[in-house]
Structure 1
Amino acid sequence: MKLNPQQLQAVKYLGGPLLVLAGAGSGKTGVITQKIKHLITDVGYAPHHVAAITFTNKAAREMQERVGKMLPKKHTRGLTICTFHSLGMRILREEAPHIGYKKNFSILDGTDSAKILNELLGGTGKEALYKTQHQISLWKNDLKTPEDIIQTASNEWDRQMAAVYAGYQATLEHYQAVDFDDLIRLPALLLQQNSEVRHKWQLRLRYLLVDECQDTNACQYTLMKLLTGAEGMFTAVGDDDQSIYAWRGANMENLRQMQADYPQMKVIKLEQNYRSTARILKVANKVIENNPKLFKKTLWSQFGMGEHIKIVACQHEQHEAEWVVGQIVKQKLVGGDKTRYADFAVLYRGNHQARVFEEALRSARVP
């Protein structure tokens, strides 16, 4: 991978905390993987002192594959590339006795925790259960305890939920179990309260690379901060224009907080896009220009202007699906054997919109 000047600067910079503002399609995964290679082969970091933290298992796998192709086995032995949840679990398994847990504690999925909450709520129906589960998850991601909620509760519902939360947590402890949110919350609290354990993990993970940091919640950001210590030997990669997890407690303010917590932090912007033509970028920049922004950036491309974008008004969703499928069939006819169905994509906002397109494609015999 040939790096552009900004990407190269991001890979080489080791003068302290670094925020890489990576616009869409600007090659951020390449920067992270090249930086891992640089840290291990050029700077001399031992692989087990380097950790790259991603948000999804898919992103972690992709990164592991890329690094595997770039470095020989001996240079990746002990290297950590995993999600926040996996890292949290690793810390918890090792440090469980510090928080009164056995090392073989069990991890509950959403269905398991719903059963416990359902009993505590006395079976009040699906909607109340979902609302409670979501609220407790948000509180945990915000590092709030039941006691915190009771102290600040402004209404009866919050007070009742705080009591359910307390009961739920007591049940988890009794069963020697944790839920997904605890996998990050408990290590964050442990590192906050126990300087010996904190120091041990800071010495172990000496350089941290964090992907999609605009999607971190308070809990993940706290864990990251505790692991990197005052020196802040980390590279955080993110983009305030691509934050999509607010509903799950993600807080874009963490990017602003990062600047306050690390005043010496360097910011490098990746604005060259390798995915789209200039016209698509121009339209995208226009669509998001009124979003509240923490950092100003303008994506550009060297792929030329590209084709015009059509905006089509349809009468209803069936008409829309038929029009889209009609376009695909037409283009396929014009392109002949050179055009494959795999060259087309239909994007929609929510899964509930897929069905109309599926039906229209089926009736037009498009696979």
Structure 2
Amino acid sequence: MINKDYLKNLNDAQKEAVLHLDGPLLIVAGAGSGKTKVLTSRIANIIKEKKAFPNQILAVTFTNKAAKEMQNRVSKILGSTAVGLSWLGTFHSICAKLLRKHASAANLNSNFTIIDTDDQIRLIKNICKAENIDIKQLSPRFILAIIDRWKNKGFYPNEVVINKKDLYEKTILPLYKTYQQKLTDLNSCDFGDLILHAVKILEFNTDIREIYSKNFKYILVDEYQDTNFIQSKWLNLLSGKNKNICCVGDDDQSIYSWRGAEIKNFLEFDKVYENTKVIRLEQNYRSSQNILSVASDLISNNQNRVGKTLITTMEEGDPVQLNCFKNGKDEAIGISDEIEKKINKKFSYNNIAILVRAIFQTREFEERFLKIGMPYRILGGTKFYERAEIKDCVAYLRLIHQEKDDLAFERIVNNPKRSIGDSTLKNS
């Protein structure tokens, strides 16, 4: 049963974005402007207006958390109808699904393994050892970063054109060729391969591209400002038939250029997709006016941006303060004093958050809070699937599932200890 009230709580700009269903659409969504609500309401409206069946809608996010939230919100509106949204997920999960259906086109079997960073490093170390390359001089992580950059640009090893100004590319290209061949031999791929293989399959197999391009009557993309070249190309190939692609993002929140994200995908969207409609979501529901004003004044110094004016219905709020400290210890003392003397008189400790750039920076705060007896909680740390014992269990399961998985075998062959050394492995 569809909840028909999904349009009632939308402002005019949000409603326009939800109801515009013909042709390319770029939604410039400022921070806290309700973009997830717009995306989910748009999906509901497409289905309610019988413009497409749920399995004809491709909805792409960057994180599993965002995908799950979108699925839950759509389910609240559509009820049991939302079950058919089989193409709602992250770039990697959807490409993995597509790749398993057409694995043979990428010289893989459908039960291929997706290796993580640890397995990638181990594989590169083995290749370097065989090629007599000193990993102290050329770090495996650096090698993988270059390989990942090539994959984000859409290059298989035989398509790479070496940058003569880069001293390392000439050395790394043969490693990339060996690395890619090893992955094929192991019936495995890394995360970069998921999208790269999917793009190559669509690019060189017209019949397969026709199936998906025809099926996806509507494509919706979240956080479009963070897409890289290969992700943008994938979307372009899939939207070729119906042209109903809706991308939501904020050029002011583009922070992943170091990871290959290209802001020009967002800025040049209307040049790539003809007759694009641009809608700006400028009503902020999250922050006070003082916060918005400071953020807007700061970001206005950026040169390449679409531009927007954020407004809020909230109060002005307290002024934003910038405090400078000599070191981390002084910062921890200053912030704890601020909490003790002012903030906790108005709010409980549960309403106070301290954000840090990296987890190691919490140490100074922990030491200070312990010293003065202030209660605190650290959020974050090692993820479940990154814990050593979980990786070991998964390696056993991978080996049962696929006997050619040498990387999984290397991890568990002597775990728990079985007195099996390198010499035994070499001679076996």
Instruction: Note the C-alpha offset of 1:333.
Output: 5.0
Matched residue type, 2:218: Y
Residue number in structure 2 paired with 1:68:
75
Q: Find 2:59's aligned residue among 43, 52, 55.
A: 52
Q: How does 1:83-162 map to 2 (within 5 A)?
A: 83-122=90-129, 124-125=135-136, 128-162=139-173
Relative to structure 1, is the Cα distance of residues 177 and 8 closer, same or farther in structure 2, using a 3 angstrom cutoff? Answer: same
Structure 1: distance between partners of 2:319 and 2:267: 37
Relative to structure 1, is the Cα distance of residues 79 and 100 closer, same or farther in structure 2, using a 3 angstrom cutoff? Answer: closer
After TM superposition, the score normalised by the length of structure 2 is 0.81
Structure 2: distance between partners of 1:270 and 1:119: 51
Structure 1 unaligned blocks of 5 or more: none
After TM superposition, the score normalised by the length of structure 1 is 0.94
Secondary structure of the structure 1 residue equivalent to 2:32: coil
Structure 2: distance between partners of 1:272 and 1:133: 42
Relative to structure 1, is the Cα distance of residues 126 and 12 closer, same or farther in structure 2, using a 3 angstrom cutoff? Answer: farther
Secondary structure of the structure 2 residue equivalent to 1:323: helix
Residue number in structure 2 paired with 1:26:
33
Instruction: Note the C-alpha offset of 1:127.
Output: 6.4
Conserved in 2, the CA contact under 8 Å of 1:147 and 1:162? no
Q: Find 2:208's aligned residue among 197, 202, 217.
A: 197
Secondary structure of the structure 2 residue equivalent to 1:72: helix
Secondary structure of the structure 2 residue equivalent to 1:310: coil
Q: Find 1:265's aligned residue among 257, 276, 286.
A: 276
Q: Find 2:356's aligned residue among 342, 348, 354.
A: 348
Structure 2: distance between partners of 1:316 and 1:99: 52
Conserved in 1, the CA contact under 8 Å of 2:216 and 2:242? no
Q: Find 2:181's aligned residue among 163, 166, 170.
A: 170
Q: Over aligned residue pairs, what C-alpha RMSD do you find?
A: 1.7
1:321 aligns with 2:300: no
Matched residue type, 1:80: W
Larger mean CA deviation between 47-56 and 199-208 belongs to 199-208
Conserved in 1, the CA contact under 8 Å of 2:36 and 2:70? yes
Residue number in structure 2 paired with 1:3:
10
1:362 aligns with 2:370: yes
Structure 2 unaligned blocks of 5 or more: 1-5, 376-428
Structure 2: distance between partners of 1:238 and 1:52: 14
Q: Find 1:304's aligned residue among 312, 315, 332.
A: 315
Matched residue type, 1:288: I
Instruction: Note the C-alpha offset of 1:83.
Output: 0.1
Task: Please give the per-residue CA displacement for 1:92-122, whole angstroms capped at 9, x wherever unaligned.
Answer: 0001122222111111111111111112222
Q: How does 1:34-49 map to 2 (within 5 A)?
A: 34-49=41-56
Instruction: Note the C-alpha offset of 1:152.
Output: 4.5
Structure 2: distance between partners of 1:176 and 1:213: 31
Conserved in 1, the CA contact under 8 Å of 2:214 and 2:241? no
Larger Cα Rg: Structure 1 or Structure 2? Answer: 2
Instruction: Note the C-alpha offset of 1:66.
Output: 1.2
Conserved in 2, the CA contact under 8 Å of 1:150 and 1:159? no
Conserved in 2, the CA contact under 8 Å of 1:40 and 1:75? no
Residue number in structure 1 paired with 2:382:
none
Structure 2: distance between partners of 1:278 and 1:78: 38
Structure 1: distance between partners of 2:218 and 2:60: 11
Q: Percent identity?
A: 36
Matched residue type, 1:4: N
Structure 2: distance between partners of 1:287 and 1:49: 41
Conserved in 2, the CA contact under 8 Å of 1:150 and 1:158? no
Instruction: Note the C-alpha offset of 1:125.
Output: 3.1
Conserved in 2, the CA contact under 8 Å of 1:149 and 1:159? no
